[in-house]
A and B are shown apart, each in its own frame.
Chain A
Amino acid sequence: MPNLKDIKRRIDSVKNTQKITRAMKLVAAAKLRKAQEAVEASRPYSERMLEVMKGIALRASPEASPLLERRQAQNIVIVVYSGDKGLCGPFNSSVLKTAQKLIAENEGKGISLVLLGKKARDFFKRRKVKTLETILDVARHDQYDLAEKVADIAISAYTEGTADAVYLVFNKFRNVVVQVPQTASLLPVETRTADEEGEHGLADYEYEPSAEEILEEILRRYVISQLHQGLLESQASENGARMTAMDAATKNAKEMIDDLTLDYNKARQAAITTELIEVVSGADALEG
């Protein structure tokens, strides 16, 4: 028969765990709200940036900027956004799996990585892939500065010719429960989709100082804005995933506590019954 004391101890321990998971859930919920607001707030800027970039890039020839130039992809750079902490469901594993798949698809090409987050670092440490840069404590940085740093690494690799394509792998935030690992193409800059062909280019624009210089600047800022948006989405995803995971953990803990409490009560009943039997049979013995 299970010992009453042991069950009690287990109940207390599960209750403590539940306290922690509940607190983590609340923290994640608060962070998620902030992260979602940040995603929303940055959207108008990136949308306008896309419009302005398209407006000018569509009128420019692909040779106008090295960042528009398509090359046979011999060497690629993959930027991976992971988290610094665990306990957030499939958030890290799914983005790392997607990155791993992209690497496998590009077997034979030169691959270098730009990693954000401890989880990505630990994952790729054991696999021998060249890493250009590792950035930890992602949430503590100014997100735009971070995006700028990553963009400059990607852009210089592309213009120097050490990379012919740059991809970003990150978790896209759908909603609190659903986060989708995605691969986005960063460089060369995608300027047109099929249905937009030839729609622009009517108005005559003036550029100061020169079209090339402005184009360069806009393309750089566009790449930064994409990386920035991705960072914010990744953070919202991380907190959404953590909130969901911790909610499930809290519920599991509750179930466990209920089961253990049932066991405890049963054991208590059994103990009382045994005691009663002992008393009754003791009395019987005296009488007899």
Chain B
Amino acid sequence: MSDRQETQENLQLEVLTPGRMVAQLSVPMVTLPGVEGYFGVLPGHMHLITKLKPGVVSYEEGGMPRRMAISTAIVEVAPEKVIVLARSAELGDDIDVERARASMEEAKAKIASLPEGDEGHVEAEAENLRALARVQAVEEEE
């Protein structure tokens, strides 16, 4: 009985990138950066497969709030688990916020200098989003 309670009350969260397994833990809830905006997932959520945009994944670990910056990803949500397959993922604690800010400035300068529709423009916009996610993963934690 208690076992069932346990699995019902927690989600198995996995965040994976091609380079490594970034997180694998049991959480009561997780918030994800959906394409249409942030959404929360609780245990018992319906099956869902969707894309994520660069943003912040947040959850609690041992009562402590954790924030993680991810780039574009695919997520599979099942009633008992959430699997995030991201191109990159970084825990807020590991992020060099100065560097993230610098690359954000750089990306913004590029966006301003290149015409819309240019390949570099699109890339710079993506870079800007990624850097923004990293800054946010750090800032709101403080």
Contact = CB atoms under 8 A, between A and B. Distances in A.
B34 interface: yes
B51 A214 contact: yes
Given A48-B14, A205-B48, A206-B48, A41 B19 contact: yes
B97 interface: no
Contacts of B21: 41, 44-45
A52 interface: yes
B109 interface: no
Contact of A221 (B20, B34, B83, B85): B85
B117 interface: no
- If over half of B's interface residues share one DSSP class (helix, strand or loop), that class is named, otherwise mixed; here it is strand
A197 interface: no
Nearest to B21: A44
Nearest to A206: B48
B25 interface: no
B102 interface: no
Interface string A40-74: 01101110110010011000000000000000000
Interface size class of B (residues with CB under 8 A): 20 to 34
Nearest to B51: A217
B50 A208 contact: yes
14 contacts: A45-B20, A48-B16, A49-B85, A52-B85, A144-B19, A204-B46, A205-B47, A207-B50, A208-B34, A208-B36, A208-B48, A209-B50, A214-B74, A225-B18
Interface of B: 14, 16-21, 34-36, 46-51, 74, 76, 78, 83, 85, 87
